[in-house]
Chains A and B, each alone.
Chain A
Amino acid sequence: MVDNPAGRAEARPSTSIESTERTEMHSSIGIDSKRRGDIVYFVAGERSGDNHGAALLKALRARAPTMQFLGRGGPRMRAIANGKFRDWIDETAVVGLWEVIRRYPFFRKQFQATISEIDAARPSAVVLIDYPGFNLRLAHALRGKFSELKIIYYISPQVWAWNRRRVLQMARSIDLMLCIFPFEPELYEESGLRAIFVGHPMTSVIPRENATPARSEGSGDETLKKTSPHPSSSLRSARDDNLIGLFPGSREREVKKIFPIMREAAAELGHENPDLGFAVSAASEPLAELIRADLYGKHATGKFFIVRGEARSLMAKVNVGMVASGTATLEAALSQLPFVLIYRVAWLTYVAARLVVKIKYLGMPNVLADREIVPEFIQHKAN
């Protein structure tokens, strides 16, 4: 780890009055002479980040009751933080590059306001939660202004998959990366960025028995055998044998590209087995509309029904699935749902991605297993 990589700005000098005031505010956590050790500033910009952030704040509150939480996040974080914590999630939710460009002035203003708030609060640390488009730029800007500020990043961005040089840039700005995949610390530390694996937050929200490791007979762990059911037992008993789940993604362009492939495959399966039904997961009403439009007038569409916004519970009900790449592949694996991965993008995007992506597999279960435990049907193989 490089604690103070070359190129960082010098600490801003403070007056003796400021130092005295801050010393009086120091808590038992431990502090330096310039920053307030009882204040931590957080930035989360998405619903998922608000959920992860709320769990983090709750755990911090239990460990350091005098710690003050400032920053920006969602309603769950704000409820725990109280005081000067801004709920800005509804303003920051954007989908697609065009919307980001259209709202650039808004984000620029929020970016500067965040820096000003941090400057005024003088926290001992800033914790950036996911939201890499905003937070990585913020880390860079903060490091340029406040060399002594601890910058911690929670929910490691997966930039190692496509741009290792970006990790080098991150190492110059960030003090500690809290990783959610076990292989990530090594990748970050190669670039001099100290990193710790803390576990994946999804294991907190998917029923515990799903994440219990399968133990072979004679493993010697009798306690585990007695207290933990086989992962497939309780969950799989609740499934509908004749129901197949289609999870075509959470973005419009994904659904447009991938759902027709899933629909055709489902129709063939339905032709072979007339008892089968197909539950299509739609992340939002606009996506449900897209799916309805695709199904309209097609053969055997009576076998399809759309389930809006309930992907996780749907994964617990269907017998097998077809899943577009993304977080859903991990959700499916943790839900013990057998599935195939289907993904297709525009050819230009595919060619560009092949040039920069450094990983063998697209599905995170396969990346974690380092072999193809889930069949991947990508681009020309998805037909």
Chain B
Amino acid sequence: MLADFAAVAQKLGRGEAGENAADAIITELRRAG
């Protein structure tokens, strides 16, 4: 079960959701411009 949990964790990213979301928003704003 623990190895399965590690695989699940890997699928969820590496703790950079805020940074990735910020990059996506900046890109979206530039795209709009």
Contact = CB atoms under 8 A, between A and B. Distances in A.
Interface of A: 29-32, 37, 40, 52, 55-56, 58-60, 62-64, 124-125, 127, 150, 152, 154, 175-176, 178, 180-182, 196-204, 208, 210-214, 231-232, 236, 333-334, 336, 338, 365, 368-369, 373-374
A214 B9 CA distance: 10
Contacts of A58: 18
Interface string B1-33: 111111111111111111111111110111111
B15 A214 contact: no
Contact of B28 (A52, A150, A182): A150
A203 B22 contact: no
B26 A55 contact: no
A31 B6 contact: no
A314 B10 CA distance: 23
A30 B30 CA distance: 5
Contact of A59 (B3, B9, B19, B29): B19
A30 B10 CA distance: 35
Contacts of B28: 125, 150, 152, 175-176
Contacts of A31: 29, 32-33
B9 A212 contact: yes
Nearest to B13: A199
Given A37-B29, A336-B2, A154 B8 contact: no
Nearest to A124: B29
A310 B15 CA distance: 21
Nearest to A150: B32
- By Cβ-Cβ distance, the 3 closest A-B pairs, closest first, are A30-B33, A199-B13, A55-B18
Contacts of A199: 12-17, 20
Contacts of A182: 11-12
B15 A203 contact: yes
Contacts of A338: 1-2
B30 A60 contact: no
Given A59-B18, A59-B19, A373-B1, A211 B9 contact: yes
A269 to B, nearest CB: 18
A201 B17 contact: yes
5 contacts: A125-B32, A150-B32, A333-B5, A336-B6, A368-B8
Given A55-B17, A56-B21, A196-B24, A334 B5 contact: yes
A29 B26 contact: yes
Nearest to A58: B18
A180 B17 contact: yes
Given A37-B33, A175-B28, A200 B12 contact: yes
Given A211-B14, A231-B5, 13 more contacts: A29-B30, A30-B30, A55-B17, A55-B18, A56-B22, A178-B20, A199-B12, A199-B20, A202-B12, A333-B8, A334-B5, A369-B8, A373-B5
A25 B1 CA distance: 55
B5 A365 contact: yes
Contact of A213 (B7, B18, B30): B7
Contacts of B14: 199, 203, 211
Contacts of A200: 12-13, 17
Contacts of B8: 333-334, 365, 368-369, 373
A106 to B, nearest CB: 29
